[in-house]
Copies of this chain bind each other. A is one copy, B any other.
Amino acid sequence: MQRTGLLIILSSPSGAGKSTLARRLMAWDPTMKFSVSATTRPPRPGEVDGREYFFRSREEFLAMVRAGEMLEHAEVFGNLYGTPKAPVEEAMREGRDTLFDIDWQGGQQIRNSVLGKNVVSIFILPPSIAELERRLRTRGQDPEEVIQARMAKSEAEISHWAEYDYVLINDDLDRTEDDLKTIIRAERMRRERLPGLSEFVRSLNKEFESR
């Protein structure tokens, strides 16, 4: 049955397990497309254009915005970030889902964009703030001020939990992964995402007529 690809938005404070979950979902369904953002910030060592980000000059970026080629964009600490529309539309037409690892601002804009009808948005919460901080501290050698800045950003991020279709508390990665798959499987089955249904019902009606 022909289906329209979903726009799956995953948001969470950093340390809640979102990146691990996104990686697992991509492994579960390799036809899923990971949305790569465009940015005007310079690449860091090891970052590859088109993999971590599409690295663009400010002029190129703004030209894309003016041409309506960005699904959403925002300025953060003087750098522009945005989601190119074309790869998402292409995936949708091919019946492939696109996975977005973005914050509440990007989520809001995509939900309210022309493609909003196909959005499924999921917010991942940590089981506790103590656990969130523990995960942030054990995963790197970040200086204290970076940790504190991340925690402040987490508080702001969490304040937007009620804008999402689903909110999962990640106290067990396997269970949360399972819940995510259940949600995606169900959302793919929604009537409005299966344009092939109209044709199928037409074939049933023809059968009625020829009885």
Contacts and interface: CB of A to CB of B under 8 A. Distances in A.
Interface of A: 1, 125-126, 128-130, 133, 151, 155, 158, 161-162, 164-169, 179, 182-183, 185-187, 189-191, 194, 197, 200-201, 203-205, 207-208, 211
Given A183-B189, A185-B186, A186-B185, A207 B129 contact: yes
B125 A204 contact: yes
Copies of the chain in the assembly: 2
A162 to B, nearest CB: 7
Given A125-B200, A125-B201, A158-B201, A189 B168 contact: yes
Contact of A169 (B129, B151, B190, B200): B200
A194 B162 CA distance: 11
Interface SS, A side: helix
Contacts of A130: 207
Contact of A204 (B128, B194, B197, B200): B128
Contacts of A183: 186, 189
26 contacts: A1-B169, A125-B200, A125-B201, A126-B204, A128-B204, A128-B207, A129-B204, A129-B207, A129-B208, A151-B208, A151-B211, A155-B205, A158-B201, A158-B204, A158-B205, A161-B197, A162-B191, A164-B191, A165-B191, A166-B189, A167-B194, A167-B197, A168-B189, A169-B200, A182-B185, A186-B187
Contacts of A1: 169
A208 B204 CA distance: 58
